[in-house]
Amino acid sequence: MAGFWQKLKTTLEMIKFEHTLFALPFAFLGAVLAADGLPTLWQIVWITAAMVGARSAAMSFNRIADRQIDAENPRTEGRELPAGKLSVGFAWTFMVASCVLFVLAAAMLNRLTFYLSPVALASILGYSYAKRYTSFAHLILGWALAISPTGAWIAVRGSLDSEIPLLLSLVVMMWTAGFDILYSCQDYEYDCEKGLRSIPARFGIRGALWIARLFHLQAFIVLLVLYLVTGLGSIAAAGVGVTGALLVYQHTLIKPDDLSRLNAAFFTTNAFVSVILFVTFGGAVFFSR
């Protein structure tokens, strides 16, 4: 039994379980906007379970699919699978269990979420192979994360009856694609050498940084539209302003000839964005009531 728990702990480290923080607040925000207040405890529990299951499945499958690539890349050769800290069989078992949790959670929410669960699974698992075929895999990752707020909206309402969750999902998609481009800059040389596709490999680091800025500008513009559509007042406006400032700050940390502060840009500022938008837009919903 002790061996099982150690393997599970290693698996959670492999999938960076703590980074669920990036996407979970967006799902909760979609749920709060859909409920125009607080969703039911039943909905909160199963939305959380669905998010945990989906992200765990996606990350474990990504590590399985990329284990040979990771073994050859000096930056990732120490990851759990290529380093032999965890067996591929256990990773597969964990991935399947995560998929089951996600589908179960979708079924417990309502019929439409259950019917759409295979589409969501195909999206989040399919990303793992995108880098082998298209330089715009960053947008596919963005799509995979963007499912969460619209999925949470459907979980609460049982239908997609507003443009609000779609706007929020578009914000998430372009925000995610932008920061994933930044993150992938550190693998520029390896991707070029191995023929892997990414925006940095195709356009160079300088060009990739400009594309990331464009994506984040698009995310900010859509966020402004979302604010205007929801009409949530000054608290939400503050969230828009702080988010814009964080996006600008993120790009001041990274330069074409200096990626040393990339981790600060990726992990610190991005963790704040989702929480800030949840607190400000979600808080504005309760104050507006």
Query: What residues does each domain of the chain span?
Result: 2-288
CB 262 within 8 A of CB 183: yes
CB 117 within 8 A of CB 57: no
| 47 vs 153: CA distance, rounded Å | 10
CATH for 2-288, options being 1.10.3720.10, 3.40.190.10, 2.40.37.10, 1.10.357.140: 1.10.357.140
Task: Give the CA distances from residue 255 to residues 34, 140, 201, 265, in Å, rounded to whole numbers and listed in that order.
Answer: 40, 25, 16, 11
Enumerate helices (H) and strands (E) in the chain, giving the number of each: 13, 0
CB 177 within 8 A of CB 170: no
Q: State the Rg of the chain over Cα.
A: 19
- Spans in the chain with pLDDT lower than 70: 1-4, 7, 12, 17-21, 264-268, 289
Q: What pLDDT is recorded for position 205?
A: 92
Task: Give the CA distances from residue 20 to residues 46, 50, 271, 284, in Å, rounded to whole numbers and listed in that order.
Answer: 15, 12, 10, 24
Q: What pLDDT is recorded for position 280?
A: 97
- What 3-state DSSP class applies to 258? strand
Phi first, then psi, for residue 158 (nearest 5°) are: 80, 10
First to last CA, the chain: 50
Q: What pLDDT is recorded for position 36?
A: 94
Cα dihedral 128, 130, 131, 132, rounded to 10, equals 100
Tokens of 50: 């669905």
CB 153 within 8 A of CB 162: yes
Tokens of 186: 């550190």
Q: What pLDDT is recorded for position 38?
A: 94
Residue bearing tokens 């599970």: 8
CB 98 within 8 A of CB 56: yes
